[in-house]
């Protein structure tokens, strides 16, 4: 069944690549979209919530239908629907990749919000020369450099000579620059940022991890057994010594038993609790019953 499928004759929704009809309809679509924004901006305020609630409900309805509507069984390519239930089921199943594509594109546009926010704050600092504006200038310069060399490198790699760049001997200045910025600087700083927490974990464990209550004692004992079981040399020594007495007294057996029977069950319960909450929250968000949701 055709649903935004490929290599088919023109119709209202699709036109040949590069054709003037395609560009015309794309432009019309853009104008309609902008007109929609202006229309929404001038809408009476009492209509706002119904619009948001309606959009949220319709979006969620797709996946609810995907789950509850009878799905096509043993469907081969070329199979045609036999009745209305089949037709709707086929349509829903065929729409899944397009809905996923839609959500990926929309999420990508929304991820730009974070980028825009950073740009806004630091541009303002630079233009108004507020405190530490020099750092903002450094940020913006690094951003511009990454954008320039990132795109330049990408453009080289998708060109017909792109596969040659698999060999570093074929690299040009822009490829070196992109590699230095991404792998030489960005990735290493990414690693450094995340590793700083190790120092604070040690400091916090030293200062705050005190055996003051039964709960703290149990937590410390469980953490200790887990850490000892992660140390292969300790586990080997302990297993060797205790193994002569009983297999059940080895560190491996103890930690495995704790993991399979106490750790798994307690974490599973926490998971159940979170899951029930997520299910309830999902329903409330879909029906816009949640005050802090999109429809508030």
Partner 1 sequence: MDYGQIKLTAGVISTIGLYSVLYRENKFYRLFEHIFLGLAVGWGIVALWTETLKSSWWDAMVGSSPDPGAAAASAQPGYWAWILLLPIGLMGYFVFNKKHNWLSRIPIGIILGLWSGQQVQVWFRRYGPNISASMKPLLPTTTSSFGKPDLTGLTPAQVANINAQVYPSQALTNLIFVFTIVSVLSYFFFSFEVKNKVLKFFTTSGRWLLMIGFGAIFGSTVMMRFTLLIDRMYFIWIEWLKHGILHR
Partner 2 sequence: MAQAPDKSLGDKLQSLNKTTLFAILFAVTSIPLFFPGMKVPNKPEESTIDLYATLMQLPENSTVLVASDWTDSTRGESGGQFEALFRIMMRRHLKAAIYTTADPQAPQVARDNIASLNEERVAAGQKPYERWNDYVVLGFFPNAEGTAVSIGTNVATAFKGRKDIAPNGISTDVYQSPVLKDIKSTKDLKLVVVLTASSTSTVTIERLSGKVPLAMLVTGVMGPETQVYYSSGQLLGLSKGLKGVYDLETMMEDGVKDYKGAPIPGFPNEKNLGRGSVYYPTLHFALALLIIAVIVGNVGMAMSRRKGQ
> By CB under 8 A, what part of segment 74-113 binds partner 1?
99, 101-113
Q: What is the 3-state secondary structure (H, E, C) of 82-143?
A: CCHHHHHHHHHHHHHHHHHHHHHHHHHHHHHHHHHHHHHHHHHHHHHCCCCHHHHHHHHHHH
Look at the block and give the residue holding tokens 């409330």: 284
The full length of the chain comes to 296
Q: What is the DSSP letter of 72?
A: P
232 makes contact, choosing from partner 1, partner 2, none, with CB < 5 to 8 Å by partner type, with partner 2
Nearer to partner 2, 166 or 215 (CB): 166
189-218 footprint of partner 2 as x/- string (CB under 8 A): -xx-xxx--xx-xxx-xxx-xxx-------
Angle between helices 84-128 and 133-157 (to 10 degrees): 140
Token readout for 122 is 């630091």
Tally Cβ neighbours within 10 Å of residue 280.
Answer: 12
82 makes contact, choosing from partner 2, partner 1, none, with CB < 5 to 8 Å by partner type, with none
31-70 footprint of partner 2 as x/- string (CB under 8 A): --------------------------------x--x----
- 3-class DSSP state of 23: helix
Q: What is the DSSP letter of 166?
A: G
Judged by CB under 8 A, the stretch of 73-81, 83-91, 138-146, 232-240 that binds partner 1 is 138-146
Nearer to partner 2, 75 or 133 (CB): 75
List of residues contacting partner 2 (CB under 8 A): 6, 63, 66, 77, 93, 96-97, 99-104, 106-108, 111, 157-163, 166, 182-183, 186-188, 190-191, 193-195, 198-199, 201-203, 205-207, 209-211, 220, 224, 227-228, 230-236, 239, 252, 256, 259-260, 263-264, 267-268, 271
């Amino acid at each position: 069944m055709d649903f935004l499928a490929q290599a088919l004759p023109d119709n209202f929704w699709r036109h040949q690549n590069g054709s003037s009809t395609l560009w015309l309809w794309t432009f019309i679509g853009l104008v309609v979209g902008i007109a929609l924004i202006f229309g929404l901006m001038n809408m009476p305020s009492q209509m706002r919530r119904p619009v948001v609630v309606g959009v949220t409900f319709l979006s969620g309805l797709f996946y609810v239908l995907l789950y509850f509507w009878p799905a096509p069984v043993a469907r081969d390519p070329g199979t045609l629907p036999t009745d209305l239930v089949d037709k709707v089921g086929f349509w829903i199943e065929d729409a899944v990749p397009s809905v996923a594509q839609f959500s990926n594109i929309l999420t990508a546009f929304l991820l730009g919000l974070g980028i825009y926010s950073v740009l806004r704050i630091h541009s303002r600092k630079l233009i108004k020369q507020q405190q530490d504006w020099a750092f903002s200038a450094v940020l913006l310069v690094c951003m511009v450099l990454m954008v320039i060399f990132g795109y330049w490198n990408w453009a080289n790699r998708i060109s017909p000579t792109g596969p040659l760049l698999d060999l570093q001997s074929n690299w040009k200045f822009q490829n070196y620059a992109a590699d230095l910025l991404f792998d030489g600087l960005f990735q290493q700083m990414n690693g450094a940022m995340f590793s700083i927490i190790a120092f604070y974990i040690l400091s916090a464990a030293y200062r705050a991890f005190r055996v003051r209550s039964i709960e703290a004692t149990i937590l410390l004992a469980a953490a200790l057994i887990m850490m000892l079981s992660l140390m292969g040399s300790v586990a080997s020594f302990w297993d060797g010594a205790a193994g002569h007495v009983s297999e059940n007294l080895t560190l491996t057996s103890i930690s495995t038993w704790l993991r399979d029977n106490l750790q798994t069950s307690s974490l599973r319960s926490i998971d159940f609790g979170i899951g029930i909450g997520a299910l309830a929250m999902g329903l409330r968000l879909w029906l816009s019953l949640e005050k802090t949701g999109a429809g508030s």
